[in-house]
């Protein structure tokens, strides 16, 4: 039986970080950990405070989608107060931290699909939602919300089963969510602290993107674009080579791999 308590001490005891995960609030059930994290940030919570919920009843995804977070999954939000220049890098930090923790704890190979979905065997296992409040050129706070399909039977969730998977489904056994979270928080802090040193996090993210070099379809707002995902810019945008040869910079969107 895997030890799987997500209590604050189970997460923080001996955690080798300076600030991420040193303060943890745990809730058996929440509408959304991101909403609680935003409120706590406005109240001045310490940098690195983590909000964890055993389940979410109104989990939110990107582009106003809902996010399924039943018991057995991981739903957490990290509060940070980064300089404005680091804001675009937070999705890189988060997706690399999740991919790294999956590989460390489970041995499964994880890939990142632009901008920040983490896939195992081509299916989505994690979603990331970064929300921030910026006034002028100052970030009041940023919240990194992370949802991982850890121990889920996809057959119980037919609405996501065609494109999603879970760690337990890929492994054939349950994983320790506690170990996953501790590894993820440690990785997130290591990568966040590497941001001032230059573009190593960006390069690592770019080199782990499964999207690059592939023929893709990108929906961005009302528009849909087709082409080859050629590269990414350091602000996280996708550079799409269109059939007419032009290069289009896409700041936000959803990618479908063609063929």
Applying CB under 6 A, the residues found at the interface with ligand BTN are 32-34, 56, 59-62, 65, 67, 69, 75-77, 117, 127-129, 145-147
Closest distance of CB 61 from ligand BTN, Å:
3
* Nearer CB in complex with ligand BTN: 91/216: 91
Closest distance of CB 121 from ligand BTN, Å:
17
* Nearer CB in complex with ligand BTN: 33/89: 33
Closest distance of CB 242 from ligand BTN, Å:
26
Closest distance of CB 32 from ligand BTN, Å:
3
* Nearer CB in complex with ligand BTN: 75/229: 75
Distance between CA atoms of 188 and 238, rounded to whole angstroms? Answer: 23
Closest distance of CB 180 from ligand BTN, Å:
14
Q: What is the signed CA dihedral for 38, 42, 45, 49, rounded to 10 degrees?
A: 20
* Nearer CB in complex with ligand BTN: 34/151: 34
* Nearer CB in complex with ligand BTN: 16/252: 252
Name the β-bridge partners of 27: 53
Closest distance of CB 223 from ligand BTN, Å:
19
Closest distance of CB 80 from ligand BTN, Å:
14
Q: How many CA atoms lie within 13 A of 16 on its CB side?
A: 4
Which residue number has the CB closest to ligand BTN? 127
Distances 6 to 80, 138, 178, 217, 255 between C-alpha atoms, Å? 21, 33, 6, 39, 33
* Nearer CB in complex with ligand BTN: 61/70: 61
* Nearer CB in complex with ligand BTN: 100/127: 127
Distance between CA atoms of 138 and 117, rounded to whole angstroms? Answer: 27
């Amino acid at each position: 039986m895997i030890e799987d308590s997500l209590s604050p001490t189970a997460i923080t005891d001996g955690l080798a970080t300076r600030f991420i995960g040193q303060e943890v609030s745990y809730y058996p059930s929440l509408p959304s950990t991101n909403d609680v994290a935003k409120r706590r940030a406005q109240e001045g919570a310490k940098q690195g405070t983590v909000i964890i919920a055993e389940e979410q009843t109104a989990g939110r995804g990107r582009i106003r989608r809902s996010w399924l977070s039943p018991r057995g999954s991981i739903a957490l939000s990290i509060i940070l107060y980064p300089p404005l220049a680091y804001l675009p890098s937070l999705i890189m930090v988060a997706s690399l931290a999740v991919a790294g923790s999956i590989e460390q704890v489970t041995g499964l190979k994880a890939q990142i699909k632009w901008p920040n979905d983490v896939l195992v065997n081509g299916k989505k296992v994690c979603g990331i939602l970064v929300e921030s409040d910026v006034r002028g050129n100052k970030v009041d706070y940023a919240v990194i919300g992370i949802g991982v399909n850890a121990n889920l039977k996809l057959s119980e969730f037919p609405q996501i089963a065609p494109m999603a998977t879970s760690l337990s489904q890929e492994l054939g056994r349950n994983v320790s969510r506690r170990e996953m979270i501790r590894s993820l928080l440690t990785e997130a802090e290591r990568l966040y602290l590497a941001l001032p040193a230059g573009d190593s996090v960006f390069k690592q993210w770019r080199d782990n993107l499964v999207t690059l070099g592939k023929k893709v379809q990108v929906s961005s707002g009302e528009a849909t674009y087709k082409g080859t995902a050629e590269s990414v810019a350091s602000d996280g945008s996708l550079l799409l080579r269109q059939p007419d040869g032009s290069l289009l910079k896409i700041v936000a969107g959803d990618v479908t791999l063609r063929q």
